[in-house]
Chains A and B, each alone.
Chain A
């Protein structure tokens, strides 16, 4: 994986020193809260309901074992012994003291990590496919291209004060594991007939208040034009994106109001102006970065079979592993969704254990998924049973990937100042109710957000739940039919909202009805919904 060079490290170290001084001056009363707040936010530090929260960037969701151990250390030293993995492949800590944040950031910098651009109207952490570099179905490892974007966008002076935040995802296979078309820019790495790598470019997708699926604006973007074209898109957005209304400031609104064709025309015009300026990375720089993502040194002659005589192990293998491109190896997803647990939370002991396992079994790498789980990307099949036993002993072997209890939930009103309702208790209750029959239900992606901003990806849920405020009390809307995968669709509200108990019962009714009307066990809930439409489910829920 990518290692910082002297420039990267210098930037991060300088930022820590600068921030340390800013905090000292704020605590001494030398700068006002109004002046200080944007400075701390630029370092990923928010004031939430109970304490400060820090959001640590995990570029394209990839961590080394050493970085993972540092995340465990931070949980122990600065927080309450746990962290929360997010839908942006980052980690958040909920109980941070402002006076300790300079030391925390210095600790992060010591393992080539930071927290800037995890807040504010800038280009946020680039997300990617958690199986990058291991997936049997990718055309190339997308991470070097995400890394180049990270370097280009880090402290980019022109794009540090955009109309609104900006999120980019890069994938490299037809299977979308990163909700790519629900990003401000979605990039799919593809090969042309000549075997050259380039991109399909989607712009103006997003969830939140105005969910939109990003339209394709470029069928083929040659690699040589990559950064110029990104710069052109951002320039058009920076120039014409609305700054008068926060709810209409994302690029999706601009693309939607202009129309994809006109937005594309303006982007191409800007690109024609930019291209001759030589902004694109020279071939040597591409090669330098690509060389830092080598295929791990895996033994392709390792035994390619698994003994599945243990039923629990077999169930976990079926649900939580994926094919690896190297024979004798397998990709393992570690569920952070124990039934009744808090989606995405991991204790420092669990974080440390996963770091150790990655060192022994995972090519020294861990991936964070946008569904709040973790991945060991390069596990030998002949080590899998032992690995599973260790995970089981630590409460990390839930065999529920993509099943009803594998629920995305934002922190909601248990932690977040923006939330209107709690998400986690609703997710916990639904998981408890549905877990006993989740194998029968098959793939069922449930997503819970505590407010319209949609950090819980409710619009991308087969079943989505949105918490809203109803005169100071929590209320929940039920949405059906969304997908963040390659068959991207947006979930639609089914009808009037419910209280906390009511929403759980409503989901149970939807699920019970699905079991009655599906054409068979192989028809996913989403496919049944798409075949039959909302009305039949509406009748089942509302009578």
Chain B
């Protein structure tokens, strides 16, 4: 299964996705990784402690964006399902 790498920015708590070169607010930018590669990145970024709660997330690939396989990660990627006005644009709220 494909994976993406996520975490939260230390200063703001924002949900971030690794795009291969930097961190993005949008899961549509996320680099698609094999699980070992995602885990290697966690090990790489962990010591600096600038991104909290680093974790590889399993996804399925859709036209719009990688779609996390768990509801929890879909909520993180999109925003609270009950506040569509806050939704990130990568995936539709109905995807939750």
Contacts and interface: CB of A to CB of B under 8 A. Distances in A.
B72 A413 contact: yes
A159 B4 CA distance: 43
Contact of A98 (B13, B48, B72, B80): B13
B10 interface: yes
Contacts of B72: 49, 413, 419, 472
B76 A50 contact: yes
A98 B70 contact: no
Interface string B54-83: 000000000000000111100110011111
Contacts of A422: 71, 75, 81-82
Given A413-B72, A472-B70, A473-B71, A47 B82 contact: no
A432 to B, nearest CB: 13
A415 interface: yes
A415 B11 contact: no
A47 B80 contact: no
A414 B12 contact: no
B31 interface: no
A50 B52 CA distance: 12
A413 B71 contact: yes
Interface string B73-96: 001100111110010000000000
Given A49-B76, A473-B71, A425 B10 contact: no
A519 interface: no
A49 B11 contact: no
A80 B49 CA distance: 27
A60 B76 CA distance: 33
Interface of B, secondary structure class, is: loop
A99 B80 contact: no
Interface in A90-106: 96-99
Contacts of A50: 13-15, 76, 79-80
B24 interface: no
B53 interface: yes
A29 to B, nearest CB: 7
Given A47-B52, A47-B53, A97 B81 contact: no
Contact of A27 (B11, B53, B75, B86): B11
A92 to B, nearest CB: 13
A342 interface: yes
Contacts of A49: 15, 72, 75-76
Q: Name the residue in A33, A413, A424, A474 with the highest tally of chain B Cβ atoms < 10 Å from its Cβ.
A: A413
Nearest to A37: B52
B73 to A, nearest CB: 9
Interface in A72-131: 80, 96-99
Contact of B13 (A96, A413, A414, A473): A96
A29 B49 contact: yes
Interface of A: 26-27, 29, 32-33, 47-52, 80, 96-99, 342, 413-415, 419, 421-422, 424-425, 428, 472-474
6 contacts: A29-B48, A49-B15, A80-B86, A414-B82, A424-B82, A472-B72
